[in-house]
């Protein structure tokens, strides 16, 4: 008789509340015992219970962020679990979306899912359909319960009851836990009155912050369940603003944008409250003083148009303290959105035009296309002056603005016209002697996206090293060398601070074809080649296929 292959089974249990978990035999134990009995009944199928327990007590099923569940998923990803057994499906999750993700993750690792009290598993299409139906009801139940809780909180606050949360400075919970009321803490209440009085006199949060620190006033100190002490440091302006706008200090309870008479005594009288609120409102309406930041004029201002004839206007934005400049179709600034409008990174566009113009000048000089009527006598000197002009444009980024007369951007093409007077002066020639092909020319122009970055592809492509690709390639070689030396993947992850899946997916970069690796190191790779593309498309074993797939000539 053929022996059944062994299936390692893990039991997952969960309870939403902490109630009863301190008992010697609680709900988690009951779930585990029922699942263990079911696994024992399937011993003839090769099922075997793993010794580790995966119990989440006091955690909701509305989220997958649960310690025991994450440990279980890590074991499944490592291939050490072949079957997940639960007492009921809603012990695993109550979210239909989360359940779909879990099933996909289990399937990808060859793991199945069984519910003890509901006779089905995910190995069949009918079982999955039944699971989806049950999860829909479980999710509906959770959402209805949440609505009931929200409605109860709203109704209680309308009656002026304190419904929990962080205790405000100046109040303590009622000694009777059955009464949802606040009682005044005399010492803290005096701090609150002092702060309201300071703002009533000074009318400036910054000055109140300084004065409160001088007087030694502090927020309420709270000891968290983990034993950490939170609070006790000097007030910040944000804390002061929240305190001064909290209607609880005039005896009212706030719920969303409404306030209701509370069942607790007020600390601040109405007149002082109104004074402080009026001053806060007036301070919020005052324009903030800003130091004018000089904006560097862009060198291509009023030089370029898009295919509709709209000027590309310089603009900028700030993100994370950094300033980013763009050339934008003016209609996007003047009003509304337009899918046909252009938005190009300013420095990249200016560098692109410099590269195009320099290449055009050098090519025209080499092909003796500088003059309308070429002359052999002074050709060598003319080529030398044209090369010197190209060198100047490369060395001085601002020079591209003076040498460019106008340009038109259309999808796939860039038409440029150089300033004939500037060119003629640099070449020591009369304007009439210049070739029209030198002054007006057209070149390819395209945009490619790499993640959030826009790359401009125009003219002749020059090598451009990609630091991200090069770093990932170097790291892949280091990790592959460490693995060959016998270092465990977990040890590499611990030393580098990277996750194991991150390292596992990037190590194959070390086995790229030598020609592909050389192109990355030299910056000769296609401009749209990225780490994401390499990971997404996969790396073929055949080196010639790699070069073809990744566009390496």
DSSP string of 65-86, one letter each residue = --HHHHHHHHHHHTT--SEEEE
User: What is the residue-level pLDDT of the chain in tens, covering all 553 positions?
Assistant: 466 788 999 999 998 887 777 787 888 999 999 999 999 988 888 899 999 999 998 888 777 888 999 999 999 998 899 999 998 877 887 776 677 778 778 888 888 888 888 766 555 666 667 666 766 766 677 677 778 878 887 787 888 888 777 788 888 888 887 788 888 899 898 999 999 999 988 888 888 888 888 888 888 877 666 667 677 788 888 888 889 988 989 888 888 777 888 888 899 998 889 888 888 877 765 555 444 343 446 888 888 888 888 888 888 787 777 788 888 887 776 555 667 778 888 888 888 888 888 888 888 888 878 888 777 667 788 888 888 888 888 888 888 888 888 888 888 788 889 988 888 888 888 888 888 888 888 888 776 554 444 556 555 544 556 777 888 888 888 988 988 888 888 888 888 888 888 888 888 888 888 888 888 887 777 766 777 777 777 788 888 888 888 777 6
Q: How far is CA 492 from the centre of its chain?
A: 26
C-beta separation of 350 from 298 below 8 A: yes
d(CA 550, CA 535): 12
CB atoms within 10 A of CB 206: 10
Q: Measured between alpha carbons, how far is 435 from 365 in angstroms, rounded to an integer? A: 11
* Dist CA 445 CA 414 (whole Å): 6
The answer to whether the beta carbons of residues 348 and 298 sit under 8 Å apart is no
Q: Which residue has the tokens 């009318």?
A: 203
* Pairing verdict, β 312-319 and 304-305: unpaired
Identify the bridge partners of residue 317 per DSSP, sorted by sequence position.
324
Structural domains of the chain, with CATH: 7-143 (3.40.50.1390), 171-284 (3.90.1750.20), 304-458 (no CATH), 467-549 (no CATH)
Q: Nearest 5 degrees, angle CA 442-CA 445-CA 448?
A: 175
* Beta carbons of 401 and 349 less than 8 angstroms apart: no
Token pair 């909180």 is at which residue?
153
Q: What is the C-alpha separation between 168 and 239, in angstroms, rounded?
A: 11
Eight-class DSSP state of 376: S
| Bridge partners, 453 (sequence order) | 450
Smallest CA-to-CA distance from 80 within 71, 89, 93, 91 is with 71
DSSP string across 274-329: HHHHHHHHHHHHSPPP-PPPPPPPPTTTTTEE-TTS-BEEEEEEEETTEEEEEEEE
């Amino acid at each position: 008789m053929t022996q059944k292959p062994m299936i390692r089974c893990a039991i997952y249990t969960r309870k939403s509340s902490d109630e009863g978990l301190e008992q010697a035999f609680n709900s988690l134990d009951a779930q585990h015992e029922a699942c263990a009995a079911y696994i024992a009944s399937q011993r003839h199928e090769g099922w075997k219970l793993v010794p580790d327990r995966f119990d989440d007590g006091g955690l909701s099923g509305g989220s997958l962020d649960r310690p025991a569940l994450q440990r279980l998923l890590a074991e499944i990803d490592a291939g050490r679990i072949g079957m997940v057994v639960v007492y009921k499906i809603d012990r695993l999750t109550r979210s239909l979306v989360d359940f779909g993700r879990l099933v996909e993750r289990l399937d990808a690792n060859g793991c199945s899912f069984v519910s003890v009290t509901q006779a089905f598993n995910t190995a069949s299409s009918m079982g999955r359909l039944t699971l989806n139906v049950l999860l829909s009801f479980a999710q509906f139940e959770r959402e209805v319960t949440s609505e009931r809780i929200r409605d109860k909180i709203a109704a209680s606050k309308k009656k002026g009851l304190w419904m929990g949360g962080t205790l405000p400075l100046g109040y303590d919970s009622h000694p009777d836990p059955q009464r949802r009321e606040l009682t005044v803490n005399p010492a803290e209440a005096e701090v609150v009155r002092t702060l309201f009085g300071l703002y009533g006199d000074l009318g400036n949060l910054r000055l109140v912050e300084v004065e409160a620190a001088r007087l030694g006033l502090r927020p309420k100190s709270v000891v968290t369940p983990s034993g950490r002490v939170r609070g006790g440091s000097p007030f910040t302006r944000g804390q002061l603003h929240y305190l001064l706008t909290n209607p609880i200090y005039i005896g009212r309870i706030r719920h969303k944008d409404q306030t209701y008479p509370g069942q607790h005594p007020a600390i601040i009288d109405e007149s002082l409250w109104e004074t402080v609120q009026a001053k806060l409102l007036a301070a919020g309406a005052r324009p903030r003083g800003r130091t004018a930041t000089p904006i560097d004029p862009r060198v291509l201002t009023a030089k370029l148009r898009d295919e509709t004839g709209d000027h590309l206007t310089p603009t900028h934005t700030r993100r994370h303290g950094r300033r980013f400049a763009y050339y934008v179709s003016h209609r996007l600034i003047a009003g509304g959105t337009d899918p046909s409008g252009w938005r190009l990174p300013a420095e990249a566009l200016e560098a692109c035009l410099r590269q195009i113009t320099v290449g055009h000048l050098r090519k025209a000089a080499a092909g003796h296309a500088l003059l309308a009527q070429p002359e052999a006598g002074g050709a060598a000197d003319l080529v030398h002056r044209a090369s010197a002009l190209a060198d100047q444009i490369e060395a001085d980024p601002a020079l591209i603005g003076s040498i460019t007369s106008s340009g038109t951007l259309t999808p796939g093409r860039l038409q440029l016209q150089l300033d004939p007077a500037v060119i003629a002066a640099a070449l020591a020639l009369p304007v009439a002697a210049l070739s029209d092909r030198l002054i007006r020319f057209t070149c390819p122009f395209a945009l490619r996206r790499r993640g959030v970055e826009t790359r401009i592809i125009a003219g002749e492509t020059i090598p451009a090293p990609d630091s991200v690709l090069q770093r990932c390639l170097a790291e892949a070689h280091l990790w592959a060398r460490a693995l060959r030396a016998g270092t465990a993947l977990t040890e590499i992850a611990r030393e580098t601070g990277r996750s194991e899946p991150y390292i596992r997916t990037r190590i194959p970069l070390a086995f790229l074809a030598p020609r592909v690796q050389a192109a990355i190191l030299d910056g000769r790779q296609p401009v749209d080649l990225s780490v994401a593309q390499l990971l997404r498309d996969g790396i073929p074993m055949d080196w010639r296929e790699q070069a073809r797939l990744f566009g390496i000539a």
